[in-house]
Structure 1
Amino acid sequence: MTASERGLFVTLEGGDGSGKTTQAARLEKWFTDRGRTVVRTREPGGTEVGQLIRDIVLHHRGDVAPRAEALLYAADRAHHIATVVRPALERGDVVIQDRYLDSSVAYQGAGRVLGRDEIRDLSLWATGGLLPDVTVLLDLDPHIARARLDAADKPFDRLEAEARSFHDRVRAEFLALAEAEPDRFLVVDASLPSAQVGEIILSRVAALG
């Protein structure tokens, strides 16, 4: 199978405000300009079912128990991979996805203190063990990320509204995950100019596609 026929799975991770949406759009344009079919998606909310789950885990006004939250994310992920991602990869498409199982490990495993191994095992079971070809971690100090979110002048979701200590744990876990799997992860300093961040990402991803 040639590179143009092989499906490619790229995920973008990092805290809110790190620039994942901007870089996903840049990657999408790069691949489409070269004739590749791109499926750009996100978790949670990449399907109709997922959008309902997204509304619960991010916008529900009442409390959601941490374990229930983790299971809801896993349910969204199982449906999303089965109905969107795997079919796209089997067609030979490029999948560019905002958040995947590493977000659950960071946010629920570390942020909610539910445990890295338990949350990772849950996600791997939900997805049948599917891992991305490359995971781009946009690393950013939570203080800078919060300033960017404040400047956007929009209501915070349930995770964005968490305390600084929560986001510090999330960032540390993302970096630990990247250190543990250096062949899969590309860590990029998200405080750099957006265009420079994009060039760093393309230098890694272009070789795969």
Structure 2
Amino acid sequence: MYIALEGIDTSGKSTQLQALKNVFKEAIFTFEPGGTELGRKLRDILLEDSIILDSRTEMLLFLADRAELIAKVIKPNLHKLIISDRSLISGMAYAKDFDLEILKTFNLFATQGVLPNKVIFLELQEEELKRRLNHKENDKIELRGLNHLLESQKRFQSIIKDLSLHLSLQALTLDGALPREEITQKIIAFIEQ
């Protein structure tokens, strides 16, 4: 089973992934961008490097990372439990300059039609997002600002709803400001049901 943990930056995905590693010890844990050798190089360009990318270039590099992850990590292990920090949903949500139907087509091509079986979406209210952004060093995506992240969060919600309706994706939305342990327990129950 392929599980994706989704949400805007600072929503708590990394914290929850660490907790889940203690529970699902046999699972394969991965992430986007950067879950493969090629992905690590693309991640540096996309998030850390000083190169300013055109929005099309950026979207295509994220797609290249996703295609490589699906081919090298996800597809060969679909018989196991795979838990990923991000999936095509993030790629579509953050690529706000493009039509969602075009993004869906490109992403389904990149993923060979492989989608997560279940998605956990951690969402944040504006005040909590502000607080979290002020307490960390921000990458290139986070530096685009609060409004960019809040707009992306709305797109996450819309994309998850669309994929749930049309492609039978099971989704759970949780408030990322809930106590960590409570979020973890709800995620575990959702994965195991």
Normalising by structure 2, report the TM-score: 0.92
Which SS does the other structure have where 1:135 is aligned?
Answer: strand
Which residue of structure 2 aligns with residue 67 of structure 1?
A: 56
Shift of 1:164: 2.3
- Residue identity matched to 1:193: P
Structure 2 match to 1:187: 173
Q: For residue 199 of structure 1, what is the aligned residue in structure 2?
A: 185
Confirm or deny: 8 A CA contact 1:104 1:120 kept in the other structure.
no
Partner deviation per Cα, 1:33-91 (whole Å, 9 max, x = no partner): xxxx21111000001110110011111213100011000000011111101111122xx
**2:42 maps to which residue?**
53
User: Which among 120, 137, 146 is matched to residue 164 of structure 1?
Assistant: 146
Query: Within 2, Cα distance between the matches of 1:142 and 1:49?
Result: 34
1:58/1:158 contact within 8 Å kept: yes
Alignment of 1:85-104 (within 5 A): 85-89=74-78, 92-104=79-91
Q: Which of 4, 12, 16 is the aligned partner of 1:23?
A: 16
Q: Take 2:19 and 2:101, find their aligned partners in 1: how far apart are those partners?
A: 33
Q: Are residues 62 and 142 of structure 1, via their aligned partners in 2, closer, same or farther at CA, if it must alter by over 3 Å?
A: farther
2:93 maps to what in 1?
A: 106
Quote the RMSD (CA, aligned, Å). Answer: 1.4
**Partners of 2:178 and 2:118 in 1: CA distance:** 20
Q: 2-side partners of 1:120 and 1:205: how far apart?
A: 25
- Which letter maps to 2:10? G
Look up the equivalent residue of 1:100 and give its one-letter code: S
Matched residues, number: 189
CA contact (8 A) 1:20 1:98 kept: yes
Shift of 1:141: 2.2
Runs of 5+ unmatched residues, structure 1 = 1-7
CA contact (8 A) 1:44 1:50 kept: yes
AA matched with 1:104:
G
Instruction: State yes or no: 1:77 paired with 2:63.
Output: no
Measured after TM superposition, the shift of residue 189 of structure 1 is 0.8
Residue 138 of structure 2 is aligned to residue 145 of structure 1: no
CA distance in 2, matches of 1:12, 1:19: 10
Task: Report the counterpart of residue 4 of structure 1 in structure 2.
Answer: none
Structure with larger Rg: 1
